[in-house]
Amino acid sequence: MKKAFVFDAYGTLYDQGSVEQSVEAVFPGQGSLIAHVWRMKQLEYSWLTTLMNRYEDFWSMTLRSPEYTLRSLQLAASEQLRLDIAATYLDLAPYDDAVVCLDSLVPHRRAILSNGTRSMLSALAANSRLERYLDHILSVDAVRAFKPAPQAYEIVEQALAVERSDVVFVSSNGFDICGAKSFGFTVVRVARADTSVPGPRVAPNSIDERLLYGLIRGNAEMLDHTADFTVASLADIPSLFCDHGNN
């Protein structure tokens, strides 16, 4: 019997598509490219700062990465404009399957563990009205190290007073899945952008930034720490572990 279900936030519970829409409104025709490079650099900077022991919180990463992206594309944006675009991260929409899943997991403890700052996550949960379905909101700020560093996952044991074997961890991000499985959680992968499933062949010269991002981030990683279960939707999770989600 698992005691707690812990979810990644960005890309797992929350759809980041509105970030692209916000960027597109400012830079027509380039929203998708900017948003996807922004996200890749956001993660890369989180890993770099952790490895260098020079922690900056995720809000800082969220501002630095578009600065890099826009400069690389030779586009100009004021600091205020970057702040306005970054604020989209405080008001993301949850995926349609998020509420169904979280509601069905009662009475198990339900938590977010995210690279986001506590203030970012609190605002996000409040604005999306998802806070009513969550018992804990956990940020890596507590240990000043980003996922997939082991100390980030230790927060769950400490905050929820559970053993890692009692935890189901849910993510759509390959790096997060590897980190959580290596740490000792039971891991569920949500295959939201899996390009490895059969589908129409795409000509190499027609690959756009969405597909490229999916190729890099959407598939299961080729490392030894693989998910215990893979699902297409969060709504599939309660049936894996609960008797009709109520026991």
Is cis: bond before 204, omega within 30 of 0? no
Q: How many CA atoms does the CB half-sphere of 219 hold within 13 Å?
A: 13
Q: Which of 13, 12, 34 shows the shortest CA–CA distance to 22?
A: 34
| Distance between CA atoms of residues 218 and 41, nearest Å | 16
Residue from 8, 57, 141, 176 carrying the catalytic annotation:
8
Q: Which of 86, 95, 94 shows the shortest CA–CA distance to 117?
A: 86
Distances (CA, A) of 130 to 77, 93, 114: 32, 10, 15
Other beta carbons within 10 angstroms of residue 219's beta carbon come to 16
Answer yes or no: 8 catalytic: yes
**Looking up tokens 């977010």, which residue turns up?**
112
Enumerate the active-site residues.
Answer: 8
